[in-house]
Amino acid sequence: MKTFEYNILSFPMTRKTGLADMQTCLNEKGADGWEVVSISTSEFANIGHTVFLKRETTPAGATA
């Protein structure tokens, strides 16, 4: 059975280079095996973008 671990990242809207920084960060996470599963965007209180990621975990004792 596949198992996953999850990560949540926040990107505030107040940064001038926010989208470029977001892309760089997500590309780095992708290189580490993370996959974006959802993005939530909110303009309320300058929250910005919240990104939800997952990646498959390796079972204990398994070799790649």
Query: What local confidence, expressed as pLDDT, does residue 44 receive?
Result: 66
Residue 48 lies in a domain: yes
CB 48 within 8 A of CB 18: yes
The answer to whether residue 64 sits within a structural domain is: no
One pLDDT digit (tens) per residue for the chain, 64 residues: 899 999 999 888 765 667 888 899 999 999 999 999 999 987 665 668 889 999 999 876 666 5
* Residues spanned by the domain of 15: 3-57
Query: Does a structural domain hold residue 63?
Result: no
pTM of structure: 0.76
Task: Report pLDDT for 41.
Answer: 85
Amino acid occupying residue 44: F
Residue 20, pLDDT score: 83
Number of domains in the chain: 1
Strand stretches in the chain, DSSP E: 4-11, 35-42, 48-56
